[in-house]
Structure 1
Amino acid sequence: MSLVTIRPLPTLVKLLAVCCLLSACNEKSGGAQQSNAAGVKPEVSAVTLHVQSVALTAEVPGRTAASLIAEVRPQVGGIIRARNFKEGSEVKAGDILYEIDPSAYQASYDSATAALQKAQGAVPSAQAKVDRYKGLTSQAVVSKQDLDDAQSTLTQAQADVAAAKAALETARINLDYTKIRAPISGRIDASAVTVGALVTAEQTTALATINQLDPINVDVTQSNTNLLALRRAVAEGRLKVVGSNVSVKLRLEDGTAYPLPGAFEFSVASVSETLGTVTARASFPNPDRLLLPGMYVRATIEEGIAPNSFLVPQRAVTRNTKGEPIAMFVDADGKVHQRVLVTQRSIGNSWLVGEGIKDGERVVVEGIQRIRDGQDVKVDDVVIDDGTGELKQSASAAASKQAANAAVVE
């Protein structure tokens, strides 16, 4: 006969009772925590938006080009006797750059001078003969034919003088051309010839090239699509043209800003068939010769003024499932509302919005992930640094916080 051991039930019952009691306490505690969490308003940071007139600019690529370019060529032939400039230096208009051997041209000039003197010497006697014949003709001593011949001789002598003067002027010009002068002021490049070289009049090879670097031009290109959008905005009144004096700023290839502003000159009247772009030109002062022809730059051009616009911080704008830009706005009762925006372009760290916002409305810039549409929130008013995009506490909020801290201390 086997023996069966039966454990007392009270111990098991006690263990079950303890477990039920602990479970009930946990449920009660969890419910209380959820109740407390539901009553806490999430904290967000918001920026107050104000209507303003926003200056619109466009940054476009471009290249620098000399404002004036002159190729130095001889206008008479001969042997180069001297070169009077240093390659790569600055020259002024009228400076003598090269000297051609003037011997032959000096002789031509002297010969023309003598020919003029000879022609001038025949005029007085011819004039005296005409005057004498006029008196004798009235007395019927000299025939009318003799007077006509004398007048013809005088006219021929005067014509010889005029021809001699023209020949002398030609000889003087050719003699002066033996001194090759700078046609413009600027920086002269390397010389293509040396002393002793033979040059000819109007040869195809330039002796040197002069580039005027102050002022210097910047040729920029802009897509025709952007140009059409700009004109459409002006026609619809969303953009006001700034006027004829359009300011242009420049950024160099290494990212540094050029210190001097430029002026917009003109835009070509045609569109590139291959690239679909429009070329425009701006002029910049260049006293230190920092800009050289052929440099790649980026120019910022003022396009116009967008009146009655808002700048919404980019950190406040997200995208919905449709890809539309949205932002969370806080009303006067502290409740957030989601709103779809119509953004036009980015300006710095903000989006340009021309409609759908009222002056003085607040948009959430921090804590967007913790809130949903229609929820009550606790708002901390902030401002955004335009340069860095960082948040800063607004002056009114800082003053209120300081006053609250002072009250607590008292």
Structure 2
Amino acid sequence: MAACGKSQGEGAPPGFGGGAPAQVNVVTVQPQTLPVSFEYTGQTQGSREVEVRARVTGILLKRNYAEGLPVKAGQSLFSIDPVPFQTALARAEADQAAVQARLANAKRLLERMKPLADGGVVSKRDYDDALSAHDVAAADLKAANARVTEAKLNIGYTHVVAPVSGLAGGAAKSEGSLVSGPDVLLTTIVQTNPVKAVFGIPEAEHARVQADLRERKLLLPPGGMTVQVLSADGTPLAGGGKLQFSEPQVDAATGTVRSQAELPNADGRIKPGQFVRVRLSGATRPDVMQVPQRAVMEGPQGKFVYVVAPSDKPEMKGATVATVKPVQAGEWVDLPDGKGWVIRQGLAPGDKVIIDGLMRIGPGAPVQIAQAPAAAASAPAKPASK
């Protein structure tokens, strides 16, 4: 029996079965205000995406721009055959001249009739007829003037111009095609500076952040959070953006709150439709702890850490052991030696959290601190994505 007991003690892990306490490294945590950031998957859009359509029906004579290159507002993009509209203008101007002649004649007749009617030479009815003829001719002239204006507008519409500046897409119709008015798309123009980033915030996370803001557990900078866009591999593409808005309702199809940010894109690195990582930074969490990522473990009841504390067992009086503490982890932060967790609940100031030697211990295992408690957990951290 003694031999059997000795064998078990010699083969047990450090700290168990009578072995020496496991050597561990710890950090001593203190409450502090930590910068945090949030990161989401998004897709870019042009700040303005305009469909270019003709306003008149006709034969497309010419494309006047280079596809895929920048265009200026007012620049001619397409030419539509103007001859039918020139003919319509000539006809409208002829009708206008005829109506002007009728109005002039009605005016002269009315001027002759008035003194005669005053003197009783002609009847009141004849004068009224002359007055009505004058008024009808005046109204006909207004209609004729409107038709001339419309004909001139239609001639102008045969020159399809860019409504905004931006990058012009490919032509949807080739020369010689019949364009049947506004129902036919000719091309699109996209403004890429600034550029928009559209992303979705999960419903549960959005509700949690809003609750933290109300309870002052999360603080925003006076000018709002800044936005940075990164490629899929983490390469920064643009920064200095601002969050524009978040939708007031949850998208039932995705379970997210649609949000939109705007960023400068003078160098054109960001293309519309590109999938990106959207990082929101500038927020802070007051009175929270931080620990290295490797110190936080996952168990059946959620996340927990090991802290060094005196044993509460009489037979181990005076010994220090690894004690489990459930924690509520928040966002990630950048520490000098890697990623770290923001610990929102579960730790007390001065707790010594075990960060190394975790594979050699279990709940209640005797431990010995291999070095003085590190102060890294109370050093300022850089914000990292959630």
TM-score tier, shorter chain, comes to: 0.7 to 0.9
After superposition, the Cα gap between the structure-2 partners of 1:363 and 1:256, relative to the gap in structure 1 and judged at 3 Å, is: same
Distance in 2 of aligned mates of 1:177 and 1:347: 57
Contact preservation (8 Å) 1:43, 1:379: no
Partner of 1:169: 149
Partner of 2:372: 379
Partner of 2:241: 262
Contact preservation (8 Å) 2:29, 2:350: yes
The aligned amino acid for 2:205 is: N
Distance in 2 of aligned mates of 1:323 and 1:203: 58
- What percent of counterpart residues are identical? 30
Quote how far apart the aligned CAs of 1:61 are: 0.8
Partner of 2:266: 287
Distance in 1 of aligned mates of 2:212 and 2:98: 77
After superposition, the Cα gap between the structure-2 partners of 1:44 and 1:304, relative to the gap in structure 1 and judged at 3 Å, is: same
Partner of 2:343: 353
The RMSD of aligned alpha carbons is 3.6
Q: Any idea what SS the aligned residue of 1:126 has?
A: helix
Quote how far apart the aligned CAs of 1:87 are: 1.0
What is the CA deviation profile of residues 368-395 of structure 1, one whole-angstrom value per residue up to 9, with x for unaligned ones?
7699769687626553785799xxxxxx
Partner of 1:113: 93
Distance in 2 of aligned mates of 1:50 and 1:78: 76
The aligned amino acid for 2:156 is: D
Contact preservation (8 Å) 2:229, 2:279: yes
Contact preservation (8 Å) 2:227, 2:239: no
Q: How many residues align?
A: 346
The aligned amino acid for 2:217 is: R
After superposition, the Cα gap between the structure-2 partners of 1:140 and 1:258, relative to the gap in structure 1 and judged at 3 Å, is: same
Partner of 2:125: 145
After superposition, the Cα gap between the structure-2 partners of 1:189 and 1:226, relative to the gap in structure 1 and judged at 3 Å, is: same
Equivalence map 1:297-308=2 (5 Å): 297-302=276-281, 304-308=283-287
Quote how far apart the aligned CAs of 1:193 are: 2.8
Partner of 2:209: 230
2:43 counterpart of 1:63:
yes
Where in structure 1 are there 5+ consecutive unaligned residues?
1-40, 390-410
Distance in 2 of aligned mates of 1:342 and 1:234: 21
Equivalent residue in structure 1 for 2:288, among 309, 312, 316 = 309
Quote how far apart the aligned CAs of 1:90 are: 0.9
Distance in 1 of aligned mates of 2:63 and 2:297: 69
Distance in 2 of aligned mates of 1:100 and 1:53: 65
Partner of 2:218: 239
Distance in 2 of aligned mates of 1:329 and 1:350: 19
Distance in 2 of aligned mates of 1:181 and 1:321: 65
Contact preservation (8 Å) 1:52, 1:308: yes
Please identify which structure carries the higher helix content: 1
Equivalent residue in structure 1 for 2:329, among 341, 344, 367 = 344
Please identify which structure carries the higher strand content: 2
2:219 counterpart of 1:213:
no
User: Which one scores higher on RCO, CA 8 angstroms, separation ≥ 6?
Assistant: 2
Q: Any idea what SS the aligned residue of 1:116 has?
A: helix
The aligned amino acid for 1:350 is: G
Q: Any idea what SS the aligned residue of 1:225 has?
A: helix
The aligned amino acid for 1:94 is: G
Q: Any idea what SS the aligned residue of 2:265 has?
A: coil
The aligned amino acid for 1:130 is: L
Equivalent residue in structure 2 for 1:156, among 136, 146, 170 = 136
Q: Any idea what SS the aligned residue of 1:94 has?
A: coil
What is the CA deviation profile of residues 324-373 of structure 1, one whole-angstrom value per residue up to 9, with x for unaligned ones?
52343699xxx898572523324222222235556676656557769976
The aligned amino acid for 1:160 is: D
Contact preservation (8 Å) 2:35, 2:383: no
Distance in 1 of aligned mates of 2:54 and 2:83: 16
Compute the TM-score of the two structures, normalised by the length of structure 1.
0.71
Partner of 1:190: 170
Partner of 1:97: 77
Quote how far apart the aligned CAs of 1:148 are: 0.9
Contact preservation (8 Å) 1:320, 1:326: no
The aligned amino acid for 2:158 is: T
Distance in 2 of aligned mates of 1:377 and 1:179: 81
Quote how far apart the aligned CAs of 1:150 are: 1.6
After superposition, the Cα gap between the structure-2 partners of 1:162 and 1:42, relative to the gap in structure 1 and judged at 3 Å, is: same
Contact preservation (8 Å) 1:250, 1:261: no
Where in structure 2 are there 5+ consecutive unaligned residues?
1-20, 311-319, 334-338
Quote how far apart the aligned CAs of 1:134 are: 2.9
After superposition, the Cα gap between the structure-2 partners of 1:129 and 1:366, relative to the gap in structure 1 and judged at 3 Å, is: same
Equivalent residue in structure 1 for 2:62, among 71, 75, 82 = 82
What is the CA deviation profile of residues 233-262 of structure 1, one whole-angstrom value per residue up to 9, with x for unaligned ones?
334442345567332211112320123232
Q: Any idea what SS the aligned residue of 1:146 has?
A: helix
Distance in 2 of aligned mates of 1:250 and 1:388: 15
The farther-off stretch of 134-143 and 289-298 is 134-143
Contact preservation (8 Å) 1:44, 1:379: no
After superposition, the Cα gap between the structure-2 partners of 1:321 and 1:129, relative to the gap in structure 1 and judged at 3 Å, is: closer
Distance in 1 of aligned mates of 2:25 and 2:369: 13
